Amino acid sequence: MIPQALFAAEFNPNYIISDAEMQNYQSMTRSDIQAFLEEKGGYISDFRTEDWEGAYRKASDIIYRAARESEINPKYILVKLQKEQSLVTDTDPSQKQLDWASGYGVCDSCSMSDPDIQKHKGFGNQVDRSAGIMRWYYDNMNSEKWIKRANVTYTIDNTQVTPASNATGFLYSYTPHLHGNENFWKLWQSWFDQIYPDGTLVKAIGSSDVYLIQDGKKKKFENMTSLVTRYDPKMIVPVPASELSRYEEGSNISLPNYSIVKVGSKYYLLDYNYKRPFANYDVVKRLGYHPDEIIEVTSSDLTGYTDGLMIETDTNSPLGSVVRIPQTKELFYIQGSAYYPILDEVIAQANFSHLLIETANFVEFEDLTLGDPILLKDGILFGVKGRNKIYVAEKGKKRHIASEDVFEGLGYSWENIVWINQFAGMAHDTGSPMSVKPSSYTPDTTPDSSTPVETTEPIDNSEEDEVIDPVEYLVRTPAAQLSYVGPQFNTEMEAYLVANYDTQEILAGKNIDFKRPMASLTKVMTGYQLMMDGIGFNKSTTYNSSIHRSSYHMYRIAEGERVRNGDLMYAMLTSSLNTPSRMLVNSKENQESAFIQRMNTQAQLWGLTNTRFTDTSGFDSGNQSTPRDYLTIFSKASKDTNMRKYLGAASYTYSEIEDTDGKPDHFDTHSNQLVGQGDLPYTIIASKTGFLYEAGTCLTMLVERKTDGKQFVIIQMGSPDFGKYTRYNEFKRFANWAVTL
């Protein structure tokens, strides 16, 4: 075990990190690295450039591959990039910072323009060299005496230093200064030293005191009642007293959850971290609270509580309610004037164990506003059904626990893991992975040899070479079936196609004949078939939840409201909403299956043997096509002027013909963020987005070159980039290339 002295918050120049840490090249998956970069918010989170082999890759991929190649911890590379050039957090680095990212080859007295070091220039080279030199140190420390190693005393900045690990010695070999290595240690400590996420219940081994970790502080429960009214005691994690001492003291938790408290003349309901004010004492009485239940406190007793939603006269369920719609089996949490989807019943059980699930119907939602899906509470351990990765929830994100060693090293219990479905898992963004302190260093026995220190079996994350979380369900093209047409672009996208719109000549493509789920690209065929069936744009459809409500219902409409069909086309094709497709199809066809059959018949008439439709919105992954087939679908559909209008609108507004909830006006924008951007070298004539776990991020666009009006179709399917702001970067790259032809 690591001596407790090494847990100290002060820098120990003799010990920076262990050999096990330095060589734990499997400590982060590719997706862990990407999530970490995105969380830090720096420029390189979305940076693509050449790696050391000349391949065009994301920064996270370059770091991941360098770590694997040299069997050096990617955390070391991340800290090095920050220490040398602040690249992990800098939002606008200079080219010089990128070119000399890890400081490799640049000595204190060297000029970056020195011809002898230009071979090391470039982000990809710098990352590769910084990892490679560490591996080279391990391989050559006995043959090269100038390499600093364990258990040998050196004078560094007039200070006697005896490295307690070879890794520490190598850090001084790379950067022969105390201050530089202290900065490295501080970054490592703040980023990767064991820190429990918010929502974790901890207690020191041998003590009965239980604390809640929140906002980086430990908050002590003063009694068992204050604990059990908030959390399940089985979630308590035993930790060393030294670990607990690292956290700053927060305000104690002394009052039971859901207590009614009085401060002066004001009354509050304590709702976890919130103190929710009652409008007046009459509301307290109306809700049935007895005076004996009210606890008189001082304002200091409520330190740490945030002001929450007021409880007013018309608040029937101050704690909220969990309801199920019998027709669709969907779950919602209702509080105040809003309702929130619950994507898995496990989330309802984990977050609202104090509430029984009630039955409701959609009519009860008419006066409510739709909110974001409910996510797991902080500190909950969970997995996604069908997958073997384990996460801990924090601030709406899923933080990957990379191995059994890390899981058990953190003191977690396997019986506390809950399992949620893929859609609920996807709703949780990916956060930075969990870390654990190494437990293998003993100063007296660290060998002075070239043999790497290994104390545990390495974790097999080899699947990460092919699978990038969170797209664990993404349909992949088998390597044996990989094919290209025209120039090959280095991209993680599974399939793409660029074609001349007028001639249908395919100018570039990847895997264009491999069948893939279409997701909401399906709606283009739905819209086209509605046009062929003679949908009346000025006719209207009245919303009936029992037949129209679709899976993933995000359309703001109340029971009995009537909407013009032309406006529903905007909602379906421009905003890519699912429920409008069912409303439109059911306005023409009593049996949706018959409409779907006509879609398939039309595809057959066009000779599209690799295309099949199974629903009208694309929610079913059974809707499949190839990029080559979809080129025909999109090209034929976009020749219709009405289809172009709906597929190309940057935004739209309309009012319901018949309104039942007092909210008749609608406004929305195109689901493709590029539509309407004026700084592009082309005009987007028509576009459709799509997304499913299995399909990845999909996009098709008809673009027109501004210089001469030449038009191109760009189709991309199976992108693993789910980032809200980054998912369009690859699409822009292909479109920019097309219009230069």
- Measured CA to CA, the distance from residue 722 to residue 469 in angstroms comes to 10
**What gap in Å lies between CA 546 and CA 361, rounded to an integer?**
10
Residue 409: its pLDDT value, please?
82
Which among 354, 347, 319 has a CA at the least distance from the CA of 332? 347
Cα 202 from Cα 213, distance rounded (Å) = 7
More confident residue, 452 or 627: 627
Q: Determine the topology of domain 479-738 in CATH.
A: Beta-lactamase (3.40.710)
* pLDDT tens per residue across span 579-597: 999 999 987 666 788 999 9
Among 164, 91, 170, residue whose Cα is nearest residue 135: 170
**C-alpha separations of 330 from 58, 307, 323, 325, 382 in Å:** 39, 31, 8, 5, 21
Distance CA 459, CA 565 (A): 56
pLDDT for 724: 56
Q: What is the pLDDT of residue 453?
A: 30
Strand, helix or coil for residue 97: helix
pLDDT per position as a tens digit, 436-475: 755 433 333 333 333 333 322 233 333 333 333 445 678 8
Phi and psi of 653, rounded to 5°?
Answer: -135, 150
pLDDT confidence band for 694 (50 / 70 / 90): confident
**pLDDT tens digits for range 12-23:** 999 999 898 899
Measured distance CA(127)–CA(132) in Å, rounded? 8
Phi-psi category of 722—alpha, beta or left, where left has phi over 0 and alpha has psi -120 to 50?
alpha
Give CATH 3.40.710.10 domain extents, the chain.
479-738
If one counts every other C-beta atom within 10 angstroms of the C-beta of residue 200, the result is 25
| Mean pLDDT across the chain | 86
Q: Does residue 4 surpass a pLDDT of 50?
A: no
* Residue in this structure with the two tokens 């969907």, named with its chain if needed: 330
Residue 279 to residue 232: CA distance in whole angstroms: 31
Asked if 561 and 659 count as a contact pair (C-beta separation under 8 A), the reply is yes
Query: Rounded distance, CA 270 to CA 583, Å?
Result: 43
Which comes out higher in pLDDT, residue 458 or 717?
717
Beta strands 321-324; 357-359: pairing state: parallel
Q: Which of 165, 131, 187, 135 is nearest to 17 (CA)?
A: 165
Cis peptide bond prior to 470, omega within 30° of 0: yes
**Which range (111-115, 187-191, 408-412) has the least confidence?**
111-115
Q: What is the pLDDT of residue 55?
A: 79
Q: For the segment 364-385, what is each residue's pLDDT rounded down to a tens digit?
A: 888 888 888 999 999 999 999 8
Instruction: Answer whether 715's CB lies under 8 Å from 700's CB.
Output: yes
Q: Model-level pTM greater than 0.75?
A: no
Contact 648, 667 (CB under 8 A): no
- How many alpha carbons lie under 13 Å from residue 699 in its C-beta half-sphere? 28
The residue ranges of DSSP E strands in 278-374, in sequence order, are 294-296, 306-307, 321-324, 331-335, 338-342, 357-359, 369-370
Predicted confidence at residue 114, as pLDDT, reads 74
The C-alpha atoms of residue 190 and residue 117 are separated, in whole angstroms, by 32
Q: According to DSSP H, which parts of 123-208 are helical? A: 123-140, 166-174, 178-192
Give the residue-averaged pLDDT of 351-369.
Answer: 87
Please report, rounded to a whole number, the percentage of residues in the chain having pLDDT higher than 70: 92
pLDDT at 415: 92
Phi then psi for residue 342, to 5 deg, are -115, 110
Contact 446, 453 (CB under 8 A): yes
DSSP-assigned letters across all residues of 667-714: EEE-SSTTTT-TTSSEEEEEEEEEEETTTEEEEEEEEEETTT--EEEE
DSSP string, 221-261: BSSHHHHHTTS-GGG-EEE-HHHHTTSEE---B-SPTT-EE
Instruction: Give the per-residue pLDDT at 470.
Output: 43
Query: Which has the minimum average pLDDT: 105-114, 301-310, 365-374, 423-432?
Result: 105-114
To which H or E segment does residue 609 belong? none
pLDDT at res. 380: 96
- The answer to whether residue 84 scores a pLDDT higher than 50 is yes
How high is the pLDDT of residue 220? Answer: 93
Q: How confident is the model at residue 337 (pLDDT cuts 50, 70, 90)?
A: confident
